[in-house]
Amino acid sequence: MSLRRASGLRAWVVQRVSAVYLLLFTPLLVGKFLFYPPPDHTAWVQWVSNRWVAIGLLLFFVALLMHAWVGVRDILIDYVHPLGARVLLLTLLAFGLLGCGFWALDIVLHAGAH
């Protein structure tokens, strides 16, 4: 019981901490594209490979994927009751999000290196 309560609290905290970062960063990202869209490939690569932008983007993907994990996990727990289906979907979700995370890491770290 105490374990379950602790894990529920941890998910709750993760969801809110990641939400605050996403709330700050996502409007910045949308604003960048609205008001300063990259004019060409060179400028775009330069922007992404700027150290601070890259760090901000990597933190963004960490927050996004953790937020996605808790959110979709909650939805699956609420609506998918057969244990097998729930475990299967949670496993697919976990691997899918992990895959996205490694993909994002590769994209941001190797921007312009191709």
Partner 1 sequence: MTTKLQRPRFLDLLKIHMPVGAVASFGHRISGLLLVLSIPFGLYLLDLSLRSPQGFAQVAHWLTGIGAHLLLILLGWLLFHHLLGGIRYLAIDMDWGVARDTARRSAWGVLAGGILLGLLMGLGL
Distance CA 32, CA 27 (A): 8
Report, in Å, the least distance between residue 3 CB and partner 1: 21
Rounded alpha-carbon distances, angstroms, from residue 63 to 17, 39, 57: 8, 28, 10
Q: What angle do CA 93, 6, 24 make, to 5 degrees?
A: 60
**Could you tell me how many helices (H) and strands (E) the chain has, helices first?**
4, 0
Convert residues 24-63 into a mask of x (bound to partner 1 by CB under 8 A) and - (unbound). --xx--x--xx--x--xxx-xx--x---------------
Stretch that binds partner 1, among 1-9, 14-22, 82-90 (CB under 8 A): 14-22
Residues in touch with partner 1 (CB under 8 A): 16, 19-20, 22-23, 26-27, 30, 33-34, 37, 40-42, 44-45, 48, 64-65, 68, 71-72, 75, 96, 100, 103-104, 107, 111-112, 114
